[in-house]
Structure 1
Amino acid sequence: MTGRERHGTGARLRRMLAYAVLILFALVFLYPFVIQTATAFKTEPDAAAHPLSPIPDPVTTEAFAQVFGGTGFPLWVVNSLAVTLLITAGRVFLDSLAGYALARLPFRGRGAITAMVLAVMAVPGVVLLIPKFLVLNQLGLYDTYTALVLPLIVDAAGVFIMRQFFLSVPPSLEEAARMDGAGVFRTYWSVILPMARPALITLTILSFQSSWNEFPHTVVAVQDPALYTLPRGIANLVAGSLGAGTQYPLKLAAALLATIPVAIIFIVFQRYFVRGAAEGASKE
């Protein structure tokens, strides 16, 4: 066997080993989701007797019927949709506006504000829960829809993503727009923003996912069950709000239904998400 053949054989073995390791990690990450899906279609005795079995025996949709008929799930969905759409729209507009200002507009203190945005990204969200509660309570916003939306309508990570993208836009485009008589906002809205489609889609996916799955903020923002979003309502189910028993099929059926919208959005816009993330990372 020549040196070239030995090198080719070694490369194939390394590639096969890498694929085997990736498949192993994929199975480790996917198996809990498989168990969640299977348990949602199990009966209560089957789920208690065989909690790790990926095959329901028998298959039943009783848990889904109970989710829609015996819980506040429909109301939670409506609340989550309203809150998520408002937060996502607000973040896409305000984060892109702030990102454009930090990337393209010369003003005193721009570097300090950018550093503060980066510093906010480093602060754990749990640290801000009590201050959020105190502020909302003092402003009279506690236990309202406004309390669910307003504190989350701007996101430091979104500002950073948009700033990184706008830094890659050639300044000649803005100069041409100014020569045509366009002001700052018109240049941003009509010239620069349409070019930011990959970054905007990335921001939309991240904003939708984070606001749809937001739980800690809802704990300190609302107490009225009529204002519960899906994460808060499902957490209430997990805490045993419907009585005795494990109720694993009911809880996991609700969790499975809550996962579907985010999964659909990510699958549909996956290529834009990857492209936008790669462009943002290449500018760091």
Structure 2
Amino acid sequence: MNTKATAAASPAQGRPVLGRFPLPLRVLGYALVVGVGLLYLLPFVLQLVTGFKTDPDAAAHPLGLLPTTPTTAAYQRLFGLSEAGDGVPFLRWLGNSAFVAVVVTAGRVLFDSMAGYALARLRFPGRSLLFAFVLAVMAVPGVALLIPKFLVLNTFGLFDTYTGMIVPLLVDAAGIFIMKQFFESVPREVEEAARVDGAGVFRTFWSVVLPMARPALITLTILSFQGSWNEFTHFLVATQSGQYETLTTGLARFVSGGLGGGTQYPLKLAAALLATLPVAALFFCFQRYFVQGANAGAVKE
């Protein structure tokens, strides 16, 4: 009897949630989901379309989905191709953001994974207290550290330098937590087998455990790149010169009117769209690993 009941219930359990309702309710549900999706995409569509409008057209029809007179003037100004000579230093912002994001991402992946492995596997005095400090750092608002960051950078002569932009971001408490949780899920038998073969602690970490952490490493890479690419408050207190401006600080100065008057909606939204594309492309390329999260992983026998 239990077998028959289970067999009868299994088809219903495998059906989608909306498939269990009558057809009219299913149509209504799918329509609601599509409507919410389109509503979510509307700002991005407006951002894309506005970049091809003229300033008067964008001011007169801000919600128009078709440009009255399509033009690429905004993108020409961004890339310094405008004949009027009124371009903005977008390529310099892009170069600074790319350089800082790549270095910070590489540093976080390396140092966070090493720190996470040490907290997960090594036994040393104060280990639990150190992990408690890591969790405490995650609870501190970033705004509360702005003035201390400025004072430290200014004291050590790192203010308004690439070093001051990069070094404070090389280690992230959230990344350490993610890697620690993953390494704790790795069976200890794998590491013990490596030690029997003569591998030391670092060799075991680098050659045995770290290759198994690919899902967690990809997750950390995406989060680190996104965080450093979109970082604003740290760069705001760490730099002053225009040559160190990134996309976030440059666009903020641009939006506040620091690069000319007028609304300039097409130029601003075109720059914001281009600043969004790298992170979006990285996420869509590795979303399968990102969804798996830091707890994914398997041991090959």
For the criterion TM > 0.5, the same-fold answer is yes
Establish whether residue 161 from structure 1 lines up as the match of residue 172 from structure 2: no
Structure having the larger proportion of residues in helix? 1
Q: Which structure has the bigger radius of gyration?
A: 2
- The 1:139/1:15 distance shift into structure 2, 3 A limit, reads farther
Partner of 1:243: 260
Partner of 1:42: 53
- The 1:19/1:120 distance shift into structure 2, 3 A limit, reads farther
- TM-score with structure 2 length normalisation? 0.86
Question: 1:182, 1:11 → 2: CA distance?
Answer: 62
- For residues 168-215 of structure 1, the C-alpha deviation after alignment (integer angstroms, 9 at most, x for no partner) is 101001101111111100100000000000100010011011101111
Question: 1:67, 1:227 → 2: CA distance?
Answer: 17
- For residues 57-92 of structure 1, the C-alpha deviation after alignment (integer angstroms, 9 at most, x for no partner) is 222111000111101111111111110111000000
- The 1:17/1:100 distance shift into structure 2, 3 A limit, reads farther
Question: 1:17, 1:101 → 2: CA distance?
Answer: 52
What is the one-letter code of the residue matched to 2:144?
V
- The 10-residue stretch of structure 1 (10-19 or 167-176) with the greater mean CA deviation from structure 2: 10-19
Question: 2:24, 2:167 → 1: CA distance?
Answer: 54
Partner of 2:62: 51
Kindly state the Cα deviation for residue 276 of structure 1 after the two structures are TM-superposed. 2.2
- The 10-residue stretch of structure 1 (157-166 or 109-118) with the greater mean CA deviation from structure 2: 109-118
SS in 1 for 2:56: helix
Establish whether residue 221 from structure 1 lines up as the match of residue 242 from structure 2: no
Question: 1:8, 1:71 → 2: CA distance?
Answer: 53
Kindly state the Cα deviation for residue 24 of structure 1 after the two structures are TM-superposed. 3.5
- The 1:38/1:104 distance shift into structure 2, 3 A limit, reads same
Name the Cα RMSD after superposition. 1.9
State how 1:1-284 maps to structure 2 within 5 Å: 10=21, 16=27, 18-69=29-80, 70-277=87-294, 279=296
- For structure 1, the 5+ residue unaligned runs are none
Count of aligned pairs between the two proteins: 275
SS in 2 for 1:66: helix
